[in-house]
Amino acid sequence: MKKNPDPITDKRVADSRRGFLKSVALAGAVAAGTSMVATPALAATTWKIQSVWDAGTVGYSLFEEWCNEMEEKTNGELIFKPFPAKSVAADNNALFDAVRNGVLQGMNPFTLYWSGKIPASVFLSSYPAGPDQPHQWDTMFYSMGMLEKTREIYKKYGLFYVGPIQHDANIIHSKKPVNSLDDLKGMKVRLPGGMVAEVFQQFGVSTVSLPGSDIFPALEKGTIDAADYVGPAVNYELGFSQVTDYILFGPPGVMSIYQPVDLMDLTVNLRTWNKLDPKLQKIVEEQVQNYSQRHYLTIQKRNIEAMEKFKAEGDTVSRLSQDDLMRFRKAAIPVWYKWANKDEDARAIFDLQLKYMMNDTVGYITEEDIKGME
């Protein structure tokens, strides 16, 4: 028991306690009010993106997996909703228009598909006897200004070219043996049109343009003697080993001399891209580069496995010689210039690549090779 109580001191203590309790109560009320009126999280931006890969292929499985990761990579701010080939836009022309018009926000095509609409795009992916190593293309895009120039070109069409996606080389499956360019003479071969077909025609090949889904039945019926398509992994999935016995590669180290680095890309609607927060733009660009490496390396692993299966089923591999490559390049050079001169954008991309191929670090082209070309 306290002795000699001090009423003044006791009052101060009581007032202090009441003040403290009021402060605690007020803080609790503020906290409760804040939780009730907290600003809701911003709604995520969703992009619908169609690939040209068919559902069920290794290509589409990889694309779908990558798209599904984007929400986590952006902390829920951006969602990629993937679609396989033909699911929204029925064909390539419709796909191009769907992205331009904003029906789709993006696409994952083979860049070469737009050579008829954007002539420069013929030089933004594989072309006959051109740069034949994936790192050469990455060097041109990311170190020599080709990415920036490509974006300038696509901007004219209301599109934004985010970046290249490494895919694979294209190879030829044949019903009869082919050991040199001369063996192709008189054969009917499914090939892409444009530059590739024009070069093969110089070696006596009758070229046929067919969509991928028509290749197997054409080979099975004997309507064509051989067909190019993509690489071993996908071609095995499509059953080519059942209707052909021979596979044609380029010289050692070069799977293909006519489409050696067949690039895909991510392209989005320009208005859609411009609306995106710069922070998210940077993430998308970085993720495209990461995906490019994953896509390429996974398919290369599958190619190795597929070639073992082709051989186990009796397919024979043959290779063109280095001399064949030089002959093919000599035939291709005038065709390069023909396409480069279609417009100033195509010429700008080609000139950059030609300078690179003539540099001693690459050494594919000499002054003598292009003498008289304009």
- Say yes or no to pLDDT of 58 above 90: no
Q: What is the mean pLDDT of residues 321-348?
A: 97
pTM: 0.85
Whether 45-166+263-305 and 171-259+314-356 share one fold: the answer is yes
The binding site consists of 170, 190, 228-229, 259
Give the whole-angstrom CA distance, residue 343 versus residue 345. Answer: 6
Q: Return mean pLDDT, the chain.
A: 90
C-alpha to C-alpha distance for 23 and 17, rounded to whole angstroms: 10
Please report the pLDDT score of residue 42 as a whole number.
Answer: 61
Give the whole-angstrom CA distance, residue 113 versus residue 109: 7
- Binding annotation for substrate: 170, 190, 228, 259
Q: Report domain extents, the chain.
A: 45-166+263-305, 171-259+314-356
pLDDT for 319: 97
pLDDT at 126 exceeding the cut of 70: yes
Report how far residue 99's alpha carbon sits from residue 102's, in angstroms, rounded to the nearest whole number: 5
- Is the pLDDT reported for residue 121 higher than 60? yes
pLDDT digits (tens, 9 = 90+) for 349-361: 999 999 999 999 9
CATH number for the domain formed by residue range(s) 171-259+314-356: 3.40.190.170
Residues near 110 by beta carbon (within 8 Å), at least 6 away in sequence: 52, 125, 167, 262, 263, 264
**pLDDT tens profile 67-88:** 999 999 999 999 999 999 999 9
Determine the pLDDT at residue 22: 44
Q: What is the mean pLDDT of residues 92-107?
A: 97
| Nearby residues of 171 by Cβ (< 8 Å), 6 or more positions away | 228, 229, 230, 231, 232, 235, 247, 248, 249, 255, 256
The DSSP symbol for 212 reads: G
DSSP β-bridge partners for residue 174: 226, 246
Distance CA 367, CA 308 (A): 42
User: In the sheet where 188-190 sits, what is the strand order?
Assistant: 206-208, 188-190, 226-228, 172-174, 246-249, 316-319
pLDDT at 20: 42
pLDDT digits (tens, 9 = 90+) for 148-204: 999 999 999 999 999 999 999 999 999 999 999 999 999 999 998 889 999 999 999
Binding site residues for Na(+), as ranges?
229
Fold of 45-166+263-305: D-Maltodextrin-Binding Protein; domain 2 (3.40.190)
Distance CA 288, CA 268 (A): 12
CA distances from 339 to 121, 298, 336, 365 (A): 10, 33, 5, 18
Rounded to 5 degrees, what are φ and ψ at 246? -135, 145
Which of 235, 253, 255, 256 has its CA nearest to residue 309? 235
